[in-house]
Chains A and B, each alone.
Chain A
Amino acid sequence: MATAHSKSAARIMIAPAVFLLLVWMLVPLCMTLYFSFSDYRPLRGIFEPWVGFENYVRFFSSSSFLKSVFTTLWMVGGVLSITIIGGVLMALLLDRPIFGQGVVRMLVIAPFFIMPTVSALVWKNMFFNVDNGLFSYLYKWLGMQPYDFLSQAPIFSIVIIVAWQWLPFATLILLTAVQSLDSEQLEAAEMDGAPALSRFRFIILPHLSRAITVVILIQTIFLLSIFAEIFVTTNGAFGTRTLTYLVYQRVLESQNVGLGSAGGIIAVILANIVAIFLMRIVGKNLDT
């Protein structure tokens, strides 16, 4: 029984939590917004509270901005396509009764538990390293020149690392979707004369579309802020500077807090545009 009295009591009770959350989110956002309109370079002792849109203009007009946006999109797109295609295939594979199913499923999920920094280090030193990496040994064994992945194909390498980490997530969600498919539908399709590929195309894939949109949405949110993998492997060199990384460099490497903050605000706005765009697609796909 929620009386008016108990309702107001409840409001007072949750007020501290709400207040804390608001402060937690709003203070950094407001400060970033504030710094983005000022010329603030702490190491040089410069602080000018109001310079108008100068930081924004500089951030936009720098040649690295557009490049970093495209790099970000490349990475997100690359990881998404690998995890979705791989995830669907893995899910179909794991749905079959196989020997040691429980263990296999655990192993498939394992990469998701590894911290990004650690997995990037492992990939960098164990697989991609030119002198001692496993891929180099493989190339040598095949009688080929070892390939320096991180400097020759840096974006591709980072995409591989990140996709490796996110594949379990996609697989897991898609596996539950595959398992929820009514087996009678597949049998009906079989009776209707649909070969395996058609059954996948006309029955399984449409059934998975919802799960796929959810995976795309969630992954995009997280992938827009890839950082550790770039930091550990290439340090932003070889054209692997994403928007997040560019902001980081402006603030910490150039010690230009104002410029970095402007970049941060731009990143927030761009992420929101992507989010609205995605929500539209998802919204369309979710109401049937």
Chain B
Amino acid sequence: MGNITLNQVTKSFGDVQVIPPLDLEINEGEFVVFVGPSGCGKSTLLRLIAGLEDVTSGNITIDGREATEVPPAKRGLAMVFQSYALYPHMSVRKNIAFPLKMAGMPQDQIDAKVNNAASVLNLADYIDRRPGQLSGGQRQRVAIGRAIVREPAAFLFDEPLSNLDASLRVNMRLEISELHNTLKTTMIYVTHDQVEAMTMADKIVVLQAGNIEQVGSPLDLYHSPQNTFVAGFIGSPNMNLFTGSEAQKHGAKTIGIRPEHVQVSKTEGMWKGRVGVAEHLGSDTFIHVHDTGLAEMVTVRISGDMQVKHNDTIYLSPDMEKMHKFDDNDQRI
């Protein structure tokens, strides 16, 4: 179970419409990521699905059942909050048992489920501690534990990794992906980090100002972004977008080329430029190239072996096959 359908859903706070009419279909067992810049309405959308906010118009169906007016607890969804929202005065065990206790489940069943969740998430060692005594990653696991004991139709994650440090974030990302593979439950995940979106999602929903810009698999979005926003948002470092005469040559208002799709040479190429900042990552080096005759700075990716220095002259040749073209309405041609 875990089909969620949004039909013409809108949300306004006072006179401000944060979500214009929106349709979305989330299929059973999918890992869907809502991604977008801050304030694009992705968290609001998640809260609408959770029932923590009321929709202004439109309706939400969960497993074919009308859920627009159903209170959050009855929707069969579990949510993991950004701040984890653990209950600080309860032990880990009681935190995880809380939803079961509220559901009036007998104590022996609660114990069995809590122990099971604790072993799945490696929580057994600190099951009797309080949240205040745990590290960020451990708290995160407790929050997930509290969600999985309910056996929900879908999990909702609201930027769950943003409070963790970088290495822990990578680990938790893997753990959540593995959890999804094990449980095969629908998961909806909100993040502003496109790396998280690309690595975890089956389906990415790119949002901007409450509008869905594009829905698709990570590679769909990477290879054929529908508009300039998606093109600029997905991929790291960002796609180079050029307007003006260079774009007109290709019959478009805007052209885009990813940093990894530009050939770099020290002797010859299409555009000649000067090296600005070079970011050495070891395996790769990102260089910012100035004075190419284009209005915008160009970012390119080169192999880490290639030696470049500040102010070196360099030649760039974009891979024409992989160039993206966008029309006057910023839509893909």
Which residues of A are interface residues toward B (Cβ below 8 A)?
182, 184-185, 187-194, 198, 202-203, 206-207, 209, 288
With an 8 A cutoff between CB atoms, is B78 at the interface?
A: yes
Are B73's CB and A185's CB within 8 A? no
A187 and B89 in contact (CB under 8 A), knowing A193-B103, A194-B102, A198-B102? no
A190–B150 Cα gap in the complex (Å)?
A: 13
Which of A187, A191, A207, A288 interacts with B77 by CB under 8 Å? A191
B99 at the interface (CB under 8 A from A): yes
Contact B79 A188 (CB under 8 A): yes
Whether the pair A191, B98 counts as a contact (CB closer than 8 A) is no
What residues of A have a CB within 8 angstroms of the CB of B78 in the complex?
A: 191
Nearest-neighbour CB distance to chain A for B233, whole angstroms, equals 27
- Return the contact of A182 from the options B83, B98, B99 (Cβ within 8 A): B83
Interface of A is mostly: helix
A191 touches B89 (CB 8 A): no
CB neighbours of A207 from chain B (8 A) = 88-89
Residue from the list A190, A193, A203 in contact with B87, Cβ < 8 A: A203
List residues 75-96 of chain B with CB under 8 A from any CB of chain A.
77-79, 81-83, 85-90
Instruction: Give B81's nearest chain A residue, CB to CB.
Output: A184
Could you list 25 A-B pairs, sorted by A, with CB under 8 Å? A182-B85, A184-B83, A185-B85, A185-B86, A187-B81, A187-B85, A188-B79, A188-B81, A188-B86, A189-B87, A190-B71, A191-B50, A191-B52, A191-B73, A191-B78, A192-B73, A192-B146, A193-B103, A194-B98, A198-B102, A202-B87, A202-B98, A209-B89, A288-B88, A288-B89
Q: Which of B203-220 contact A (CB under 8 A)?
A: none
Q: When the two chains form their complex, are residues A192 and B81 in contact, meaning their CB atoms are under 8 A apart? A: no
Q: Which residue of B lies closest to A205 (CB)?
A: B89
Q: Quick one: closest A residue to B71, CB to CB?
A: A190
Write out the residue numbers on chain A whose beta carbons fall within 8 Å of the beta carbon of B90. Answer: 206
> Does B37 sit within 8 A of A, measured CB to CB?
no
Contact A192 B52 (CB under 8 A): no
Q: Does B72 contact A (CB under 8 A)?
A: yes
Interface presence of B180 (CB below 8 A) = no
Residue B169 lies at the interface, judged by CB distance under 8 Å to chain A: no
Residue of A nearest to B104 (CB): A193
B146 to chain A: closest CB distance in Å?
7
Closest to B73 in A: A193
**B173 at interface (Cβ–Cβ under 8 A)?**
no
A190 to B130 Cα, complex, angstroms: 21
Q: Which residues of B contact A188 (CB under 8 A)?
A: 79, 81, 85-87, 146
How far apart sit A194 and B102, CA to CA, in the bound complex (Å)?
A: 6
B132, CB-defined interface residue at 8 Å: yes
CA distance A206 to B86 in the complex (A): 13
Q: Identify 19 new A-B residue pairs, CB closer than 8 A, beyond the known A190-B71, A193-B99.
A: A182-B85, A185-B87, A187-B52, A187-B81, A188-B85, A188-B87, A188-B146, A190-B72, A191-B77, A192-B73, A192-B150, A193-B102, A193-B103, A194-B73, A194-B98, A202-B87, A202-B98, A203-B87, A288-B88
| CA gap between A193 and B82 in the complex, in Å | 19
A184 to B81, CA, bound (A): 7
Given A206-B89, A288-B132, are A192 and B83 neighbors across the interface (CB < 8 Å)?
A: no
Q: Which residues of chain A have C-beta atoms less than 8 A from B99's C-beta?
A: 191-193
Asked if A190 and B52 sit within 8 Å, CB to CB, the answer is yes
Against A, the Cβ 8 Å flags (1 = close, 0 = not) of B49-78 are: 010100000000000000000011110011
Q: Which among B82, B90, B98 has the greatest number of chain A C-beta atoms within 10 A?
A: B98
Q: A182-B83, A187-B52, A288-B130 are in contact. Are A192 and B89 (CB under 8 A)?
A: no
